[in-house]
Amino acid sequence: MSTSVSTATLRGRDLLSVADLSADEVERLFERAAALKTEDHARRTSGGLVATPLAGRTLAMLFQKPSLRTRVTFEAGMNQLGGHAIYLTEDVVMGARESVRDVARNLERFVDAIVARTGPHEVVVELAAQASIPVINGLTLREHPCQALADLFTMRERFGDLRGRVLAFVGDGNNVYHSLALLGAMLGLEVRLATPDDYGPNPRIVERATELAAASGGRLVFETDPTTAVRGADVVYTDAWTSMGQEAETEARRDAFARFRVDDALMEAAGPGAVAMHCLPAHRGEEITSSVMDGPRSIIWDQSENRLHVQKALLAELLAA
């Protein structure tokens, strides 16, 4: 399904990249997520009635990669909004058992939207091109847009205005960094990356993020020394050194990233106001220590919870009448 960026409505649109959105559209998503979060907390404490804008709607969740947060938050989110989600496992292997085109053309007849969690980014691009219903990128090797939206929403809760804030990403220039760089640049942040040589991000993503930063007053910074990168940062962010599909590189990556662990010393170097974030799952003792994850400067569990609220806002914007 072809998409065009417009501030008029998100209804019927795809979300393949955070760059598919405008800053105004992100702000609208954040406002709705905040309202839904307040409503959800009230439901949990008082048991009050909540709105069900997606009653009768169905989401197909097409997952070729393992998941805890993405699966549970999308499935629970659809349920809480009055809709239903169907989890499709690797039994539906696109391109092997059935072509991506045929999967898309079947699903568009059955459901109202698709969230796909896969490897090659081209899979979600083809799904969107072939399906007449919204397609949401639940993770590809290129981007993780829902994660970045939840992360920047969490920073907004913590710090208020995001413009000029500093997010220092310590580790691999991977899909999570790509989405954070794009969204952070769009919203006027300084996004830093500390990574070893040969583990940098996709140059095309950097080029696009640089364009967005030029328009918003944001900035991209690249370092090879993590201590330099985190100095004065508001957020010290990390991710697993070895992503899904890179298991054969595990030992080499442990050696390359040994200096890039987020521990108490690195948090001290960042400064007293810095907080720690991690998209999870975490390998405790590798890219981050338990003392940081479970310590008073961690907002990791807040960002995990916010996947639910931000994705509910996204689903409501894409699907509600």
Residue 237 lies in a domain: yes
Q: Checking DSSP bridges between strand 275-278 and strand 235-238, what pairing results, if any? A: parallel
Is 123 in the same domain as 253?
Answer: no
Check whether residue 139 and residue 117 sit in a common domain: yes
Residue 303, Cβ density class (10 Å: 0-12 exposed, 13-18 middle, ≥19 buried): buried
Identify whether residues 50 and 177 lie together within a single domain: no
- Verify that 149 and 138 share a domain, yes or no: no
- Of the listed 64, 80, 130, 147, which one is catalytic? 147
Whether 178 is a known active-site residue: answer no
Domain assignment present for 12: no
pLDDT at position 50: 81
Active site includes 307? yes
**Does 196 share its domain with 287?**
yes
User: How confident is the prediction along the chain (321 residues), in pLDDT tens digits per residue?
Assistant: 534 344 458 999 999 999 999 999 999 999 999 999 999 999 888 887 788 999 999 999 999 888 999 999 999 999 999 999 999 976 665 667 788 999 999 999 999 999 999 999 999 999 999 999 999 999 999 999 999 999 999 999 999 999 999 999 999 999 999 999 999 999 999 999 999 999 999 999 999 999 999 999 999 999 999 999 999 999 999 999 987 667 788 899 999 999 999 999 999 999 999 999 999 999 999 999 999 999 999 999 999 999 999 999 999 999 986
Rounded to an integer, what distance in angstroms lies between the CA atom of residue 80 and that of residue 59? 13
User: Does some domain include residue 3?
Assistant: no
Among residues 32, 69, 144, 297, the one annotated as catalytic is 144
Rounded Cα distance between 96 and 235, Å, is 42
What is the rounded distance in angstroms from the CA atom of residue 91 to the CA atom of residue 198?
A: 35
Co-location of 168 and 296 in the same domain: yes
- Per DSSP, the residues of 138-149 read EE-SS--HHHHH
202: domain range? 145-303
Active site residue 239: yes
Domain count, the chain: 2
CATH number of residue 181's parent domain: 3.40.50.1370
Q: 129 and 149 in one domain?
A: no
